[in-house]
Chains A and B, each alone.
Chain A
């Protein structure tokens, strides 16, 4: 199959006086898990809801498994497992009733898989949803999302508000979901560590715009911090054009550069009044923070 399972082309979504996504283009390949990262209000949830056809883009197009979501919403949703940020389910129903209800909605429902997941998560079938803890509710939503053996799995902040042991449980389940017929998993999250364990790729968005979409390993290899020391009383003259964030504090000139290669150091030395410069490796979390800080305000001078 050559069509990517998830494809967004130039997707803009306007709410009243507010642009939630701005010409967002993304393509997720088969066999990958992608972490959608961004600060609160970046447009992550809007983006995920549009992938499911629950929100209609103002302009642009979205196709899931080769089908346009706007014109084929119900058909596409049959193939997607979705866990929303705060799974509501049906608060008055029992776990068992929710599962039975879901089984009537999805054509490809696998009852044996549902039973297996309920057991694995130790979910009490007779408890009503309202009485479940947040972690249990997420697990119940995950049972519904996985038991129809979806080809695409979409998870909105699945780890937020969960204790570390429940998160571990969830990570293990998601890892086993990959081994089944799920072609593509997209999860939005603030837990960058979890994303780093689970995902192959990250897409970082800010104010509705895509800042970077890359494999995690490539991102680590191609994003570096350069720490330079300015000569007394001097300021940078020609920062590297690939600088995504920089900070000047007395003589210390720090910059995060993407994409970086080591030959840039010579250009930096030649064009700026600096006495030294060294390269520092960054973690995914540091890269994320620098990209967001840089997008918010390009340079701080103390």
Chain B
């Protein structure tokens, strides 16, 4: 069952963040539903072949963000949250990613006007392809 999650050690993104973001997506997609248990730190570590401390770090991050909570003696569970809360979290993350991309673009000499155009194009493309995926 190694395909529960894909980890790329060649990526510049720390492995715990790769794990955390895939868990977030899986929770959002309903792979793990509210009040359902997540695999134990050890089991997930064995399954996807990464250090258990790395899994712990990913779980800590999701717990801090309020996606999951630990219940005494029973393990980690997905928190039942409103969609608005989940979206709020995702928005803050998007904000951070965008700022970094924009800062890089500006130092490369791309004008704000041009950035706006490129953003609009990329958004249209993604919306179109994600609606194709859903139908």
Interface-facing stretch out of A12-20, A90-98, A119-127, A272-280: A272-280
Complex CA gap A176/B11 in Å reads 25
Please tell me the number of chain A residues within 8 Å of chain B, measured between CB atoms. 34
* Least distance between B39 CB and chain A CB atoms (Å): 14
Q: Verify B46–A283 contact, CB threshold 8 A.
A: no
Which residues of A sit under 8 angstroms from B12, Cβ to Cβ? 220, 281-283, 286
Tell me the complex Cα distance, A275–B106, Å. Answer: 12
Q: Which residues of B contact A281 (CB under 8 A)?
A: 12-13
Residue pair A193, B51 in contact (C-beta under 8 Å)? no
CA distance A277 to B13 in the complex (A): 21
Residues of B within 8 A of A31 (CB): 53
A178 within 8 Å of B (CB atoms): yes
Residues of B within 8 A of A175 (CB): 45-46, 49-52
Question: Would you give the shortest CB distance from A190 to chain B, in whole angstroms?
Answer: 14
B7 at the A/B interface (Cβ < 8 Å)?
yes
- CA A31 – CA B54 in complex, angstroms? 12
A197 at the interface (CB under 8 A from B): yes
User: When chains A and B are docked, how far (Å) is the Cα of A121 from the Cα of B91?
Assistant: 47
Asked if B53 and A200 sit within 8 Å, CB to CB, the answer is yes
Contact with B along A191-228 (1 / 0, CB 8 A): 01110111110000000000000001100110000000
Q: Which residues of A contact B45 (CB under 8 A)?
A: 175
CB closest chain-B residue, reference A275? B109
Interface string of A168-193 (1 = CB under 8 A from B): 10011001101100000000000011
Task: Tell me the A149-182 residues at the B interface (CB within 8 Å).
Answer: 168, 171-172, 175-176, 178-179
Contact at B52–A192, with CB atoms within 8 Å? no
CA distance A132 to B39 in the complex (A): 37
Q: How many angstroms between the C-alpha atoms of A129 and B72 in the bound complex?
A: 49
Q: List the B residue with the shortest CB-CB distance to A221.
A: B14
Chain B neighbourhood of A286, CB < 8 A:
12
Pair B107/A172 contact, Cβ less than 8 Å: no
- Distance of B3 from chain A, by nearest CB (Å): 13
Residues of B within 8 Å of A194, CB to CB, are: 9
Chain A residues, CB < 8 A from B46: 172, 175-176
B81 within 8 A of A: no
Give A249-302 interface residues, CB cut-off 8 Å to B. 265, 275-279, 281-286
Task: Please pick, from B16, B49, B57, the residue contacting A172 in the complex, using a CB distance under 8 A.
Answer: B49
* Assembled-state Cα–Cα distance A283/B7 (Å): 13
Query: In the complex the two chains form, is A192's CB within 8 Å of B51's CB?
Result: no
Interface residues of B in 1-50 (CB under 8 A from A): 7, 9-16, 42, 45-46, 49-50
> CB of A33 within 8 A of chain B?
yes
Q: Contact at B7–A220, with CB atoms within 8 Å? A: no
Q: How far is the CB of B16 from chain A (nearest CB, A)?
A: 6
CA distance A179 to B52 in the complex (A): 9
Min distance, Cβ A183 to any Cβ of chain B, angstroms:
13
**In the complex, what distance in Å separates the CA atom of A172 from the CA atom of B50?**
9
Smallest CB–CB gap between A268 and chain B, Å? 11
Contact of B104 among A193, A199, A200, A278 (CB under 8 A): A278
User: Is B49 touching A197 in the complex (CB atoms < 8 A)?
Assistant: yes
Chain A min CB distance to B9 (Å): 4
> B7, B16, B42, B51 — which one has the most chain A CB atoms within 10 A of its CB?
B51
User: Residue A196 contacts which of B15, B42, B57, B109 (CB distance < 8 angstroms)?
Assistant: B15
13 A-B residue pairings within 8 Å (CB atoms): A172-B46, A175-B45, A197-B49, A197-B51, A200-B53, A216-B15, A217-B14, A275-B109, A276-B109, A277-B107, A282-B12, A284-B9, A286-B12
Q: Taking A278-B108, A283-B10 as given, write out 12 further A-B residue pairs in contact, using a Cβ cutoff of 8 Å, ordered by the A residue number.
A: A32-B53, A175-B49, A178-B52, A196-B9, A197-B7, A275-B109, A277-B107, A279-B104, A282-B12, A283-B11, A283-B12, A286-B12
